[in-house]
Structure 1
Amino acid sequence: MESRAQPRSITDGPSPKHVQLRDVLAEMAAHELEPDAAIPSERELMTRFDVSRSTVRKAIDALVVDGLLHKTHGKGTFVSRPRLESRLHLASFSQDMRRRGLTPSTVLLGVASDVPPVDVAKALDLAADARAWRIDRVRLADGHPIALENGWYPADPLPGLDRLDLGGSLYEIFTDTYGLGIDSAEQTLWGEVADAPTAQRLDAPVGTALLVFRRVSLADGVPLEHVVSRYRGDRYQIHMSLGRDQLGSDRSTAEGDPS
C-alpha cells in the first residue's frame, strides 16, 4: 500500500502525466478522503508531484467530468458524494428518498395560482383561461440539494392547496386531503447543463450536468400534475432494466432475423 508520506511519483512515459495524476487523485478520492472533503490545492499538487499547473487542471477536470470530484467557485475542489441511484418507477421524491434510508426535505420557493403556459394547459387538459397552481421547490436528501422542481397542478380539483404544508410529498397530500391518488404517468428524460439561477438553487457550479424529467401524472385517468424536475447529474443516476419489446420482436421476424 502506498503511503501518504511517499506519494506515487509522476514520471515521463507512455502514459501522459495528467492521466497518471488523474489516477492518483481518483485513488485518493476513493480511499483516503471522505465525501465533501477538499482535495489538495493546485499549488500543493504541483509541488508534491512536480508537475505543471496545466497538468493538474487536466487531471482535475477529467475527474469532475466523471463525477468523482466537484468544484465550488471560490472554495476549491471536493470529493463528490456517491450518486443516488433510482429505478424508474411511479413514486414521489419523498417516497423515493425514504426507500433509500435518506431524509427528504424541501425548500419551498413559491406557490401561486396562475394561467399556465399553453403546452402545460394542453398536457393538463385545461381550458385556455383555466388556472392552476404553480409550485416551485428545491428537494433535498439528508440536507443536500438534489433537484429543482417546477410544477403545475389544476386549481379546481385542488382548492386551498396553497394553504397546506407543501414541504413533503404532494402525492400524499393529493391522496390524503383530496382523495386523488396518482396511479399513472408519462415521463420524458433529457440532459441539460445548469444555468446560473438553477446552479444557485442547487448549490452547484454553473454548467453542472443535469438530468431533466418532465412528468405528466394522472389520477383515475385525469391529469393532475405537470412537473419538470432538474436533478444534479453528479448526485443522481438512473438504473433501467431493459427487455426486448414486442415491436422489436415483430420487426425482427418480419425482416427474417432468426434470433
Structure 2
Amino acid sequence: MVTARAHSGEHKYLAVRAYLADLVATRLSVGDAVPSERSLTERFGVSRMTVRQAVDALVTEGVLERAQGRGTFVAPPRADFEMRLTTFGEEARRRGLVPGADVLEAGTAPAPAPVAEALDRPAGTPMHRVLRLRTADGNPMSLEEAWIPVDLAPDLLDRGVPESLYAALRARGLDPTWGEETITAADATPDELAALEMRTSQAVMRTTRRTFGGDAPLMLSRACYRGDRYSVFVPLREARPTLVPRTDRSGASAGRPGRIPEGSPR
C-alpha cells in the first residue's frame, strides 16, 4: 500500500510512478482516466513537476497515454512481436491477440523502379499490389503494402486477397525461406495518422522487408506501425557473418545482400 507521502530516501517520482503503475495493474482498465496531477500532488506532497515526471515515464513506456485537453488515460497494451519470418497474423495469434485486416487497395500495377529492382525485375513489370490496414484485437496497428511479381502467381488475387500472402505463395510451391528487413523511425503522414487513429502520438516505425524463396525474391513489403502500440523483440546471439542489404534512397532494399566478416564496420 502506498502512503500519502513518499518514503524517506526514496526518489519521490518513483513512488508516484509505482502508485500509478499499481493502479493500472489492479484497478483500472484500458481507457480509464488516472488521478489528476493536482490530486497526486496533494496525495504525495510533491511538486507538480515531480508528478509530471512520473506520468511522462509511464507514457514513454506505453502504460499511459495523454489526450490533449481531456487528461491521461490507461493505454491499450503494446503488441510485442519477435523478429521472425512470419506474417503479422501469425505473430498476433502467438501472443493471444486476434488479428484482422481491412483491404484498402488491391490489384495489378506496373512496378516502380525501386520495387522492380528489389524484386530483380525490369521497371514496369506487372506486380500484384495489396494495401491493408492490420489490426490486433480490433485496434489499428499498421498499414502494410505488399508487392509480388505477377509472373510468380498469376491467379493470386483472382478470388480476392488471401488471408495470408505467405500461405498463398506456399500453396503455389513458392516457400518463403528467409528474408531481410530494415527498420526506421519516422513521423506519420496525415493519411497514416487518420488510418491508424493516432491522436496522442505521431511516432511510427517503418519496415521494409524482402522475402526470398531460396535465391529468388518473392515479395517486397513495406509497413508503417504505430509507435505507441508496437514494439519489437529481437533475440541476440553470438556474433557471426551478417547479411547486409544494399538500400536505395527510398529505403527499399535493392540488389543481393552481401556478407561482411565479423568485426567489420557496419
TM surpasses 0.5:
yes
Contact 1:106 1:167 in 2 (8 A): no
Whose helix proportion is higher, 1 or 2?
1
Q: Tell me how far apart the structure 2 counterparts of residues 247 and 167 of structure 1 sit (CA, whole Å).
A: 36
Q: Tell me how far apart the structure 1 counterparts of residues 177 and 241 of structure 2 sit (CA, whole Å).
A: 25
Contact 1:85 1:237 in 2 (8 A): yes
Contact 1:148 1:202 in 2 (8 A): yes
Q: Counterpart amino acid of 1:173? A: A
Q: SS of 1:101's equivalent?
A: coil
Query: Which residue of 185, 190, 201 corresponds with 1:191?
Result: 185
Contact 1:149 1:228 in 2 (8 A): yes
Q: SS of 2:89's equivalent?
A: helix
1:89-134 residue CA offsets vs partner (Å, 9 max, x unmatched): 1111111122223221101111132223321110011111212122
Q: In structure 2, do the counterparts of structure 1 residues 43 and 115 end up closer, same or farther at CA, with 3 Å as the change threshold? A: farther
Q: Tell me how far apart the structure 2 counterparts of residues 247 and 107 of structure 1 sit (CA, whole Å).
A: 39
Aligned length: 245
Q: Tell me how far apart the structure 1 counterparts of residues 184 and 46 of structure 2 sit (CA, whole Å).
A: 39
Whose strand proportion is higher, 1 or 2?
2
TM-score, normalising length: structure 2: 0.75
Q: In structure 2, do the counterparts of structure 1 residues 171 and 73 end up closer, same or farther at CA, with 3 Å as the change threshold? A: farther
Q: Tell me how far apart the structure 1 counterparts of residues 67 and 28 of structure 2 sit (CA, whole Å).
A: 17
Q: 1:1-259 counterparts in 2 under 5 A? A: 1-2=1-2, 8-9=4-5, 21-41=16-36, 57-73=52-68, 76-166=71-161, 168-176=163-171, 178-205=172-199, 207-246=201-240
Q: In structure 2, do the counterparts of structure 1 residues 89 and 251 end up closer, same or farther at CA, with 3 Å as the change threshold? A: closer
Q: Tell me how far apart the structure 2 counterparts of residues 14 and 117 of structure 1 sit (CA, whole Å).
A: 62
**How far apart are residue 215 of structure 1 and its match?**
0.6
TM-score, normalising length: structure 1: 0.77
**How far apart are residue 168 of structure 1 and its match?**
1.9
**How far apart are residue 51 of structure 1 and its match?**
7.1
> What runs of 5+ residues in structure 2 fail to find an aligned partner?
243-260
Q: Tell me how far apart the structure 2 counterparts of residues 132 and 17 of structure 1 sit (CA, whole Å).
A: 58
Q: In structure 2, do the counterparts of structure 1 residues 40 and 89 end up closer, same or farther at CA, with 3 Å as the change threshold? A: same
Paired-residue identity, %: 35
**How far apart are residue 50 of structure 1 and its match?**
7.4
Q: In structure 2, do the counterparts of structure 1 residues 251 and 172 end up closer, same or farther at CA, with 3 Å as the change threshold? A: closer
Q: In structure 2, do the counterparts of structure 1 residues 156 and 71 end up closer, same or farther at CA, with 3 Å as the change threshold? A: farther
Contact 1:8 1:24 in 2 (8 A): no
Contact 1:107 1:167 in 2 (8 A): no
